[in-house]
Structure 1
Amino acid sequence: MTHPLSRSAFPDLPSYPESMIQFGEGNFMRAFVDWQLQQMNNQGLFQGSAVLVQPIEQGLGELLAKQDYLYTVLLNGIMQGDQVNSREIVTSVSRVINPYTEHENYLTLAEDDRLEFITSNTTEAGIAYHPEDRLTDTPQKSFPGKLTALLYKRFQLGKKGFVIIPCELIDRNGEKLKQIVLQYAHEWQLGDAFLEWLEQENTFCCSLVDRIVPGYPRDKAAELERELGYQDNLMVTAEPFLFWVIEGPSWIEDRLPLAKAGLNVVVTEDMTPYRERKVHLLNGPHTAMVPLGLLAGLETVEDVMLDAEAFSPFIKKLMEQEIIPMLDLPEDQLLSYADAVQERFKNPFIRHELTSISLNSISKFKTRLLPILLRFQQETGTLPPLITLSFAALLLSYRGDRVTRQDGPEILALFDYTWGDPAGFIASILKEDSLWGTGLSMVPGLKEALETYVRQLEQAGSRSALQQLI
């Protein structure tokens, strides 16, 4: 019988002073930020730990405490052609504070001069304004409200500010978090001196994070515990690939030496090109493969990448011939990133289902692929054939008779209405500017190309249509 993971079972594991406050104790942050702290600590470059704050009342704090805040990160996948299968006990978490039951302990974090970084991942809905929040709440409901209260306490003590790096998956996350903090500061009438301190003494960074973290390996937990020799109720699996872009001043690289530790981290004055690279070159192919794959009966991203006759060549050609030429980064960097993305797509240890990616496919297409289609047409005078075929497959899949649709009721109702006239469907749906954010009916040749591809998909299927194009 295996023993529980604890410091008594591993007495030689190191401990580090707290240097980071981290809002969020879930799988992603423990396998992303805290794992990176561990790598810096392993090389003697940082020698710091994170104190975690539960953003909501119910969390993992008690479970982590039972394991002395230790847990195992298991990296599984392919990295630069080699299989990675590593296990590491992470020691970079010092403790967890639940501000709902330990509010005074939470506010005392403001007293510690060694704490200089704040990170967060409170889900996409976490960076939000709640008008009912007040400074006197113990605690505030929202993450920005809790953060404002902590920052105000820090200001009252006359101490330096923080470097604040949110990791929530929303665009310009640092700017939006700062905006809400300033809004609370005004509404709570915390004074001009505090507003000046927020601006002068704190650095709010936007960031972009990239690592697939499936989480607790429930189906293999017993087998892994026998392999590890201990019981770990909080072990977390992740892919080997990692990328973190932090938009902020260059001195952050010295105070948080992630890149020096060999980690794939970029500190830049403008993260826009990197965001566009991820959105279009990672998320874009995901969105492109979904309707075509589902129409062909495929189930997972791995299924797509193992289909050497049609789908795998489609992804490669889509990236190299249609997406990369439209992005504003050096071609060699983009090709290298594309190779890494395809390697990640083939990861046999992660079951990434196409149906899960298909949620809200219309808005995803609008963000991830439509800008590429429009720029391609403007610069070359022709339509990108693979993106256009995927667009046609998406429209066909939203008819609802071949693929289960997952979208808002108003969007589904619109498609049901326009598909009521199959002959005029393409012309009608392209006129729906509310769906696409622009007038697609004016794009030369798009209506005719989509009509041709829809007929081809109906008659011959998506695999045949792809094979003809590639």
Structure 2
Amino acid sequence: MKTPIMQFGTSRFLQAHADLFISEAMERDEALGPVTVVQTTGSKDRAERLKGLAVDAGFPVRIRGIENGAPVDRTQKVKSVRRALSAGRDWSEIETIFVEEVELVLCNTADRGYDVSDESDKLPASLPASFPGKLTALLHARFLANRSPLSVLPCELISNNGEVLRGIVANLAQRWYADHDFDAWIKADVIFCNTLVDRIVSEALSPAGAVAEPYALWAIQRVARQGLPCTHPAIVIADDIAPFEHLKLFILNLGHTVLANRWIAKGRPDGLTVREILGDADTKGLLLAIYESEVVPGFAARQMREEAEAYVATTMDRFQNPFLEHRLSDIAQNHEEKVTRRLEGFMNWSGTEGPQLKQIVRSVR
């Protein structure tokens, strides 16, 4: 069976988000088609995960939480992945599939996924080191073979991720190929879409699969001639996805960082989760006070009060999900950078200054 979707990255997030959505849509005949997953790195852990993705029975995604006021604990089998390949081992097969079958590209390649600092100025004789480098090489092979258009939907948590990835790929194409026709084809027929993904995926299952909350959102910016992987209730197509991004970054992610800061102040107790730290009345009171007296007024200054109030209520339910073990040690990674982007970023975006947020910023500096 052909796979019109190629996914770069084996993350537990993609398994419980895009792969699950496509699997559900395939059952309704509302998907573009199945998926080839490509492992872009040489990680041994990811190689083990790869073995469990493309199995006939599917891999499990367990949805646990509160949905419409009722507890949910269900396991779904994801059967959208038909091939699972390694860039280092299966490059020739990947190139053939990319040229002959693929209509849409998905990617989620972690924090350093767009880092091309290890790429040389000239096209490497071997496989490019980075994901953007590999994508550029595959696009060139497709350009030479058939030149048919395709869409790219990045799922990295980077603002304007489609535009950012387009710029990186265009730069590498110019450096490596110096072909004006190839440059023009990328500009005209490779459709990079900005997207925003929102779902807490708290735990990986072995060898493949994940545990996730019921809430999910995939906001995709509308672009002419774009392809979509499927139709799904959690997918929203909008002319402007910035409001979704601001709600997630400055409410959900900001709240995570506030709680991580409290966890650090408490001496980093081992294994403490978001739900558990909110069992402390002072911590919960601090977070609610920040939301009510600083965050919601900041959104109100941007004419988004109602949206912010609704998202705060949803976020608190998500934080107190009795089933998810969302560890603060994971959230606290790169803490100073997150304080800058989420807390300082909110104050700059909203044009407001919150005393409690400012105090946290000062404590980190």
Classify the secondary structure of the residue corresponding to 2:253: helix
2:35 to 28, 33, 50: 50
- The answer to whether the 8 Å contact 1:324/1:335 transfers is yes
Q: 1:93 to 1:66 in 2, by over 3 A?
A: closer
Classify the secondary structure of the residue corresponding to 1:124: coil
- Alignment-derived partner of residue 139 in structure 1: 127
1:362 to 336, 350, 361: 336
**1:319 matches 2:297:** no
Q: Distance in 1 between matches of 2:265 and 2:133?
A: 46
Report the Cα offset of residue 88 of structure 1: 1.1
Structure 2 stretches lacking a partner, 5+ long: none
**1:64 matches 2:52:** yes
Q: Distance in 2 between matches of 1:102 and 1:352?
A: 35
1:272 to 242, 250, 255: 242
Q: Which amino acid aligns with 1:283?
A: N
Larger Rg: 1
Residue-by-residue CA offset, 1:403-434 (whole Å, 9 max, x unaligned)? xxxxxxxxxxxxxxxxxxxxxxxxxxxxxxxx
Q: 1:319 to 1:90 in 2, by over 3 A?
A: same
Q: Distance in 2 between matches of 1:47 and 1:196?
A: 26
Q: 1:293 to 1:190 in 2, by over 3 A?
A: closer
- Alignment-derived partner of residue 353 in structure 1: 327
Classify the secondary structure of the residue corresponding to 1:72: strand
Report the Cα offset of residue 34 of structure 1: 0.4
Q: Distance in 2 between matches of 1:212 and 1:294?
A: 21
- Alignment-derived partner of residue 109 in structure 2: 122
Q: Distance in 1 between matches of 2:99 and 2:261?
A: 53
- The answer to whether the 8 Å contact 1:72/1:235 transfers is yes
- Alignment-derived partner of residue 174 in structure 1: 162
- Alignment-derived partner of residue 20 in structure 1: 5
Classify the secondary structure of the residue corresponding to 1:273: helix
Identity of aligned residues (%): 27
Report the Cα offset of residue 198 of structure 1: 0.4
Q: Distance in 2 between matches of 1:374 and 1:103?
A: 45
- Alignment-derived partner of residue 276 in structure 2: 303
Q: 1:191 to 1:75 in 2, by over 3 A?
A: same
Residue-by-residue CA offset, 1:205-226 (whole Å, 9 max, x unaligned)? 2222222222334xxxxxxxxx
Q: 1:296 to 1:144 in 2, by over 3 A?
A: closer
Q: 1:188 to 1:69 in 2, by over 3 A?
A: farther
Q: Distance in 2 between matches of 1:375 and 1:188?
A: 38
- The answer to whether the 8 Å contact 1:103/1:138 transfers is no
- The answer to whether the 8 Å contact 2:274/2:328 transfers is yes
Q: Which amino acid aligns with 2:201?
A: V
Residue-by-residue CA offset, 1:363-410 (whole Å, 9 max, x unaligned)? 32222122444677x66xxx534434545xx62xx6xxxxxxxxxxxx
Higher relative contact order (CA 8 A, sep 6+): 2
Q: Give matches, 1:277-292, under 5 Å.
A: 277-292=247-262
Q: Give matches, 1:23-422, under 5 Å.
A: 23-46=8-31, 48-58=33-43, 59-60=47-48, 63-64=51-52, 67-68=55-56, 70-112=58-100, 114-129=101-116, 130-132=118-120, 135=123, 137-217=125-205, 233-249=207-223, 252=226, 255-258=228-231, 261-263=232-234, 265-292=235-262, 294-295=264-265, 299-307=272-280, 309-327=281-299, 328=302, 330-373=304-347, 384-391=354-361, 395=363
Q: Which amino acid aligns with 1:44?
A: D
Structure 1 stretches lacking a partner, 5+ long: 1-15, 218-231, 399-434, 436-470
Residue-by-residue CA offset, 1:272-310 (whole Å, 9 max, x unaligned)? 222221111111122223334554677432123333x43
- The answer to whether the 8 Å contact 1:173/1:207 transfers is yes
Q: Distance in 2 between matches of 1:311 and 1:235?
A: 32
Q: Distance in 2 between matches of 1:162 and 1:249?
A: 12
- The answer to whether the 8 Å contact 1:128/1:180 transfers is no
Classify the secondary structure of the residue corresponding to 1:18: coil
Q: 1:363 to 1:111 in 2, by over 3 A?
A: closer
Q: Distance in 2 between matches of 1:345 and 1:61?
A: 28
Q: Distance in 1 between matches of 2:128 and 2:72?
A: 42
Q: Distance in 1 between matches of 2:19 and 2:91?
A: 23
- The answer to whether the 8 Å contact 1:166/1:206 transfers is yes
- The answer to whether the 8 Å contact 1:99/1:105 transfers is no
Q: 1:368 to 1:51 in 2, by over 3 A?
A: same
- The answer to whether the 8 Å contact 1:324/1:331 transfers is yes
Q: Distance in 1 between matches of 2:240 and 2:360?
A: 31
Report the Cα offset of residue 98 of structure 1: 1.7
